[in-house]
Amino acid sequence: MIKTTFNSEGRLFGTDGIRGTVNDGKITALMVVNLAMAAGEYFRGKAGTKKPRVLIGKDTRLSGYMLEPALVAGFTSVGFDAITTGPLPTPAIAHLTKVLRCDLGVMISASHNPFEDNGLKLFGANGYKLSDEVETVIQARMENDAILAKSPDIGRARRMEDGIGRYIEFIKQIISKNDSLAGIKVVLDCANGAGYKVGPEAFFELGMETVVLGCEPNGKNINFECGAMFPLKMAENTKLEGADIGVALDGDGDRVIFSDEQGNIIHGDHIIAVLAKEMILRKELKNNQVVGTLMSNLGLENFLKTLGINLKRTNVGDRYILDEMLKSNTNLGGEPSGHIILSDYAKTGDGLLTAIKIISLLKKSGLKASKFLRPFELVPQSLKNIRNIDKNIINNKIIQDMKVNMEKSLGDMGRILIRPSGTEDMIRIMVESTNQKKVNEITDKLEKLIVEQDRFEKNK
């Protein structure tokens, strides 16, 4: 029997659903069937309809062909009707779950991870990602025998044929019907992922001249040297093609990275700043606040202050950003990685929605992307990922003491963050300061100490 594995804290769920290498740990067909039955029991009746139903989307990974029918089997066995969409971005599934009055939605994706990995993102009937508390309840239900439907009550499954069209009409609402994007030339890289059909079609309908990359998925090339994880290909082509702007999505389409016309990558915090400035000028920014994360650049915080806008930081992950946005009645939030939430329109990061809005603002500005999309100077920041290491080592006293001492040396002009990744097996180090030399020195010292302490603990 194949058993489901959990993380070091005994949890099946991470910071963004369930994720791992397929058939090598927790991501197996058996686990997915059990999850579907447990989630079905929990969500039954949440949409208030007579017959419960679930919406199931996926990206382009080979393992999606295995996991999609496993979900269908699990949900129909507990009496749910299952609607499958085929490849669609994660934000499309979040949106359509609510629109179609489904009790829940499931996206089969491991986002920016390589094709060998896959995962599951669950959405409630309201289109929101699940809280830690709900995930804990579902995981506990997986330990018990499922309550199977009686034979006449088993659910049915059908394919949704108009998902792409309905999602395109939704994301086009981000701009006025009178706005035309004709005359704009864009390089669009869809990462051979979930946006490979809907992205080019949406841009075509909006009148843009589009050079398309990463739109030939074969099940194994998602995120491979393309898309938001490898945006240089998009950036180089933006310059070569003489395009006004470049756009790169990640594998499930909830993140976006931009390039200017000169082939230079635009930092995610610059995009948040552009949106915040526009919204404050139009008096659309609620409570004069933007929600970022611990990774948001200090330069963004300083720039927002000049506009009278407060930056509220949360833990890393768009789910935590949205939680804070809902609590504080804020309608703009995001991460440097390209997760941008415009909650007046979407309840999760949406790469295409953000791209359309930014391209519209760029055209109205009459400026080049290199000027318009960099409204402030970034504070020097170093990011280092340490792989193949015990993530609990960050609690080591020697490491923590060094971190405290180094933070004191930076004063108010910098920050240090050491955290375990919530989606991958690694520790992330972030050092930020106006002094680039000090940033590099501190990063190197912390990396060396963490590796040494991990080796010491393992050899005890």
Residues with a known catalytic role? 111
**Block residue for tokens 């792409």:** 164
Closest among 97, 109, 103 to 39, alpha carbons compared: 103
Q: How far apart are CA 175 and CA 290, in angstroms?
A: 21
DSSP alpha helix (H) spans, 213-316: 232-240, 268-281, 298-306
Q: How far apart are CA 69 and CA 111, in angstroms?
A: 20
Contacts of 224 (CB under 8 A, 6+ apart): 114, 115, 192, 230
Q: What are phi and psi of 257, to 5 degrees?
A: -120, 140
Neighbours of 225 (CB within 10 A): 12
**Residue 238 forms beta bridges with which residues?**
none
**Block residue for tokens 């963490």:** 450
Beta strands per DSSP E along 41-189? 53-58, 81-87, 104-108, 117-124, 157-159, 185-189
Q: In what order do the strands lie in the sheet with 185-189?
A: 209-213, 185-189, 245-249, 256-259, 265-266
**Residue 314 forms beta bridges with which residues?**
293
| 237: Cα within 13 Å, side-chain hemisphere | 21
Neighbours of 140 (CB within 10 A): 11
**Residue 129 forms beta bridges with which residues?**
123
Q: How far apart are CA 142 and CA 31, in angstroms?
A: 9
> Of all helices (H) and strands (E), which one includes residue 183?
none
> Residues 245, 260: contact at Cβ < 8 Å?
yes
Q: How far apart are CA 107 and CA 116, in angstroms?
A: 17
The three-state secondary structure class of 197 is: coil
